[in-house]
Amino acid sequence: MNETKYWTWFMAAGVVILVLLGLHMMIMHLGAFTHLFVVDKGVEATAVVNSQSRDANLFFTITYVLLLGTALFHGLYGLRTILFELTLKKSMEKALSVLFIVLGLGLFCLGTWAAFTAHANALKAPAPQAAVSEGR
């Protein structure tokens, strides 16, 4: 019964990831088409000035944490499902589950701390000079 519940959460997490990671990819890999959320269009979306401007935006801080949690669950549960198909012993299945929970929670704490610290740092930093490279 629990596995059915986890599988439903796994699918729901996939849909959330599709939206949030889709937005992330639109910014990072399709920026030449979308120009979404960049203060300096003359440099890449991954440039420090653009990265800091997103960190200063609470929308990104919250969605980063949401994406982090859903993606960790979706990814690690998916890997667990694949490994369990190897018909492992019960003790091994339990050990893997514990390992993935510890790994997932550890990385979630690290990423959440980083998102909020980067947000606080970006608010303290001087305002990014918009469109510097455009000569304005």
Look at the block and give the residue holding tokens 């120009």. 35
Question: What separation in angstroms does the CA of 109 have from each of 13, 15, 116, 118?
Answer: 18, 23, 11, 14
Which of 3, 36, 46, 132 is in the footprint of other proteins by CB under 8 A? Answer: 46
Which of 86, 91, 124, 126 is in the footprint of other proteins by CB under 8 A? Answer: 86
Q: Tell me how far apart the alpha carbons of residues 103 and 82 are, in angstroms, rounded to a whole number.
A: 17
Q: Does 47 bind other proteins (CB under 8 A)?
A: yes
Nearest-5° angle of CA 113, CA 116, CA 119?
Answer: 145
Q: Cβ 66 to other proteins, closest distance in Å?
A: 14
Q: Does 76 bind other proteins (CB under 8 A)?
A: yes
Q: Does 69 bind other proteins (CB under 8 A)?
A: no
Q: Tell me how far apart the alpha carbons of residues 134 and 92 are, in angstroms, rounded to a whole number.
A: 58
Q: Does 129 bind other proteins (CB under 8 A)?
A: no
Question: In the numeric block, which tokens belong to residue 96?
Answer: 């893997």
Interacting residues toward other proteins by CB under 8 A: 11, 14-15, 17-18, 21-22, 25, 29-33, 46-48, 51, 55, 68, 71-72, 75-76, 78-79, 82, 86-87, 107, 110-111, 113-114, 117-118, 121
